[in-house]
Structures are given as C-alpha cells and as structure tokens.
Structure 1
Amino acid sequence: MAASSSNSNPPISSETQTRNWLDLPHDVMSTIFLKLGPIEIFNSVQLVCSLWRKICKDPLMWRKIDLNHLSDIHDMNYYDLEGMCRHAIDRSCGQLVDINLEYFGTDELLKYITDSTCNLRHLRLACCYSISDEGLNGVAAKLPMLEEFDSSHCQLSKDSLEAIGRFCPHLKSFKFNSQVFRHLCVESDDEAFAIAETMPGLRHLQLIGNKLTNDGLLAIMDKCPHLESLDLRRCFNINLGGCLGKRCAEQIKHLRLPSDPTDDYPFQAEVEDDGYGSYDEDYPSGISDIDFLSEDDYDYYVFSGESENEFSDDVDFHSE
C-alpha cells in the first residue's frame, strides 16, 4: 500500500516564512555586525534601516577597530581608511581598547587615537611606514594601559622602544620584526638592550629578522624573567649552541629557532633569492652574510589618504 499523505513533510508555517530580522535582540545583532568590520558597517549595514543605524552607533560596537581585512592593495586605495578610522574612533566615545592600523597608520592618526582614549590595550602598527620615532615618542605617555604592541616592519629605533617600555608598564606582548635580506652581516644589540631594560613584564616577544647577537639575547633572558614565548626566526646572528641554547630551551615554553620555517608569518620573512644559490647551499654551517636593511635603504609606500577630522554620519569613505 502506498504511503499515506499524512507522512509527508508538514507545510512551512506562516510564522517561519515571515520571520523578521528586526525582531532579533540588539545584542545578537551587535555580535553579527562586529564580525563584518567597519567598512561593511559604514557602507552597507547602517544604511539598511534606522534600527540597524542605531545599533551601529553604539560606542560598544567600536571598542575594537580593525581595518586590516583588505587583502588587495587596490582595495586599500579605494577607501579613505584614515578618515573611516577617525570616524570609528569618534563613535567609540573613549571606549576604544583595540585597534589595528596596519599599512595606513600615521603620526597624526596615532595622536588622534591617544587624544581620544587612555584605555588602549592592543595596538598594531605593522608596516606603518609613516609613523616616526617622534610621533610614537610623543604619544607613549598616553598609553599607560597598553598590553600588546606590534611595530613590525616600521621605521622605529631603540628610542621608541625605550619610550614604550617606560610608559607602558603593563606591556606583555611585543612584536618587533624586520625584513631579511642578503648583505654583509651587521650585528646590533641596541634594540635588544632597550627591550631588556624597559620591558621586564613581557610574556611574548617576536623578533623575526632582528640583528641581535647572543649578548642581546642573554640580556633579554636576564631582564625578562616572565617570557613564555620567544620567536627568533631569521635572527642569524644568534648561536644557540652550548649553555645559552640550553637555557632558552629550559626557560622558554614556546621557542622558535632562527632556522625554523616562517610559513605562518603574514609578512615576507624568507631570504630573497639573489641568483647566487639558496641559504642552505651557501651556508651549510648556519653562518650567513645576511643583513637587514635599515629605513634608509628602502623606499616605502604609504596607503593612507588625507582626510578631515570631522565627518557626518553619511560620509563617503571612497577615495577619489
């Protein structure tokens, strides 16, 4: 006997068909919007209706600002990221605690941030070539709550490191990575000594491509007793044989060695192939002629545009 019609799937109720997104609780909508990011919020979400616009203007929505999900440089040029960032900072009403300015940060924008909040805990300035020693030194005293700082691939010296270390006593995580190039070997422990002398509370330290030697590493080990993770990949002036290597292995829970792979690193960290053979072929003993270019050796490109400090809620953040 054929199956009766009573076994068929029940019809979809009218309530299910007419469910309204506007009926969702505000905290649920806020959670969804936070996963989209500032660009989508400013250019799409807040334009849907007055309710969504109200949610998007809640200062709690802007405790974290991250404009770093644009993977294409052309997309970065398409938007006025600095203007958008300033507008997001204004909406935070002083509650901003986490911001990522990767690629487009400037001295002026950094000052705008620190003038707006003294509660910043996480600051990422990776590849911000328009942030200077003077700019960072001028705002360091306004970052007393900073816990995490990333200044990788920036044109900053030991002076900035010392300022951050002195004025940010709660600093626990620091990234100060450099690009690796094939040149005559240059050694420098200036930055390592600055870290050792001013950042005793560090738990996590990443120094990919740094010029430090065993002396600088030993100073860090002595003065930063709470270190749990230490990343020394591409630090080819380091020799971890003997007592120093044994001490690092015993004292550091998560240790990345100079020769460890950099597959999980988001920036260029491999030695450039200059046509003279690979690193392993040229330096089978692990001793190289690798140097790290200073800021004077490189031309950098800035991807931020000029913008006004004040914006209306309907401002167009597309670059002209």
Structure 2
Amino acid sequence: MASSSSSESTVEEMRNWLELPPEVMATILQRLGAVNILTVAQTVCTTWRNICKDPAMWRTIDMQNSIDYPDMEYALEKIAKHAIDRSCGQLIDINIGYYCTDELLQYITDRTSYLRRLQLVCCYNISDEGFSEAAKKLPLLEELHLYDCSLSKEAIGTVGRCCPLLRSFKFNNHRFSRPQIGSDEEALAIAENMPELRHLQLFGNKITNNGLEAILDGCPHLESLDLRHCLKISLEGNMGKRLHEQIKDLRRPSDSIADYEFDSQIHDDDSFDDENPSEFSDIDVLSDDDEYYEFSGASDFSDYEGLAFD
C-alpha cells in the first residue's frame, strides 16, 4: 500500500507541473539555458515541447554555461543556430561562448534587427572584419559585453559609430602578474566613438591616465566605471578628484575582484597560450521535426545520440 501511495503522489506531482500556466512554465524552462532546453527539456512531454517552440521563449538566448558541456563542443554552434532560428527574428539578447566565429556572428545579425544586448566570452575566432560587419547590422544595440575577446581599436571605433544607442560597454582582459606597457589605443577609440556610454568596464586594460582623461572628456554621461586591475593608472591628485566628481560608481584598480563575473587567471605576459578547449566528442540534438518521447526519463546527453537538427 505504501508503494502504491508513493506512486500516486509522484503522478499527482507530475500533473501539477503540467497544469502550470504556460507563461509560468516558460519562465522556469528559460532558466535552464538553451543547451538544456534543446537537448533535454523539450523531450520531456508534448506540453513542454510546444512551450519550447514558442518564439517568445527565444527572445533571450543564454549559452554562456555551454562550456560546462565539453563533450558537446562540435554541436554548440549548431545548437546556437537552431536557438536563433526558434526566435523567428525576435531575438533581443544573446550570450555566446568561446565557439563563436565570424560565421555565427553573421548568422545572428542576419536574423534579427532588434538585438539590444550581445555578450561574447573568449571568442578569439572572431576577426576585426567579421565583428565590424556585424556591428553595422546592430543599430539598436545598447549593451556590448566582451570578455577576453581580441579586437583592434578600429573594430571598437566601428562599434561606436554603428551603434549610437550603446550605453554599456565591457571590454575585459586577463590579469597580469607584473605591470605591462601602457597603451591608450582602445581607450581613445572608446572616447572618440562612444559618447552616450553610461557604464564602462575595462578589467585588466593597459589604459594610462591619458586614456582615462580622454574617456572622461569623450563620455560625459558616464555613471559607472570599472578599472579593476588596470595597473598603469594612478588615481592620485586631480585625476582622483575628477573621478569622484564625475563618476557615481567607481571601481579602482586595486579593488576586490571577488564579484567579477568570470574566473580571472593571472598571466605573466602577453605571450600566454590562448588555446580554446578542444579534443571533445560530438553530440546530436533534437530538431523540430524529430520524434520525441513522452516522459523519456533521459539522464544525460548521450541518450540523445542519433538525433540531429535538420
């Protein structure tokens, strides 16, 4: 009897989940991220499958945590493209990891005219030319957050000119164990081309006081400025006074990095190895036309080998 009661309780719990309003269930499912939605969640039942196919579910696409699935490396770009297709042109916010390329960036910008926020992490396969071409198609972009992405001053300038609504810009680098040669090329590109900035983060940048002064002159609306681990800056005297008067939220070069969004490794110099994760196996994932299973109970991605996007 106890076993039967336990079984009935489990069934009742499953029924309660399915009876949730679709908009509530969509909010819950979105927290899983694109990878889990497309490879696991949409296979659970017909109701979840239908919710996961709603374009509104894909206005925001988060694939930042995709690095947690190393054995899926070769499928990640494929998953990203399918998620973008699911948005049906409604995409406004996307977060992409190390596997992003010029081709994928072009795929994104060719399929939405409404992108407001773009975040890229460790995307060394994106060229200046590819990024510049993408920027020309993002006139509504308000937030651009780049972590360990290598772009030239020319590409930064193109972003500023082509994205006049840009309010938040993060251009973050690695930390270094010893002082680097100062350089203001990137700072000057920001100062000359991003006059509407409200928020700027330059973690680990080689900016000097000259570049900082140019930013304060060229970005008069700046409210928050994060200069953590910018080792070539001195905030003594007049510079410190000006920052106090102009910037509401200031993070100084020596401030704690405990709340920094990503694990920040320390490097000795600029010659560190930037290899991306590799040597992983492939995986196939479900397409809109593939068969799915009612309460399949699959426990890991290997259960879905053999299924592929069209």
> TM-score category by the smaller chain?
0.7 to 0.9
Which residue number in structure 2 is paired with residue 196 of structure 1?
Answer: 191
1:231-273 Cα deviation digits (max 9, x unpaired):
111111111111111100111111011111211113354645x
**Mapped pair 1:206 → 2:201:** yes
Structure 2 residue matching 1:151: 3-state secondary structure: strand
Change beyond 3 A, Cα 1:138–1:100: same
**Contact 1:158/1:190 (<8 A) preserved:** yes
Which residue number in structure 2 is paired with residue 50 of structure 1?
Answer: 46
**Mapped pair 1:267 → 2:243:** no
Partner residue of 2:102 out of 94, 107, 120: 107
Which residue number in structure 1 is paired with residue 170 of structure 2?
Answer: 175
2:306, 2:145 → 1: CA distance? 27
**Contact 1:80/1:319 (<8 A) preserved:** no
Structure 1 residue matching 2:200: 3-state secondary structure: strand
1:314 aligned partner, one-letter code: D
RMSD: 3.1
**Contact 1:124/1:151 (<8 A) preserved:** yes
Which residue number in structure 1 is paired with residue 25 of structure 2?
Answer: 29
Q: Which has the larger radius of gyration?
A: 1
1:85, 1:69 → 2: CA distance? 12
Which residue number in structure 1 is paired with residue 230 of structure 2?
Answer: 235
**Contact 2:67/2:97 (<8 A) preserved:** no
Partner residue of 1:139 out of 122, 134, 140: 134
Structure 2 residue matching 1:176: 3-state secondary structure: strand
**Offset of residue 203 of structure 1:** 0.8
**Offset of residue 306 of structure 1:** 9.6
Change beyond 3 A, Cα 1:31–1:230: same
**Contact 1:211/1:236 (<8 A) preserved:** yes
Change beyond 3 A, Cα 1:97–1:156: same
Structure 2 residue matching 1:123: 3-state secondary structure: strand
TM-score by length of 1: 0.80
1:274-315 Cα deviation digits (max 9, x unpaired):
7xxxxxxxxxxxxxxxxx62xx7533215699999x955439
1:163-193 Cα deviation digits (max 9, x unpaired):
1100001111111111132456311111000
Structure 2 residue matching 1:220: 3-state secondary structure: helix
2:152 aligned partner, one-letter code: S
**Contact 2:66/2:76 (<8 A) preserved:** no
Partner residue of 1:226 out of 221, 228, 239: 221
Percent identical: 53
Give structure 2 stretches of 5+ with no counterpart.
Answer: 1-7, 292-303
1:175 aligned partner, one-letter code: K
1:63, 1:30 → 2: CA distance? 12
1:305, 1:17 → 2: CA distance? 36
Change beyond 3 A, Cα 1:86–1:146: same
2:246, 2:149 → 1: CA distance? 29
**Contact 2:66/2:97 (<8 A) preserved:** no
1:234, 1:153 → 2: CA distance? 14
**Offset of residue 45 of structure 1:** 2.1
1:176 aligned partner, one-letter code: F
2:65 aligned partner, one-letter code: H
Give structure 1 stretches of 5+ with no counterpart.
Answer: 1-11, 275-291
Which residue number in structure 2 is paired with residue 314 of structure 1?
Answer: 290
2:282, 2:152 → 1: CA distance? 26
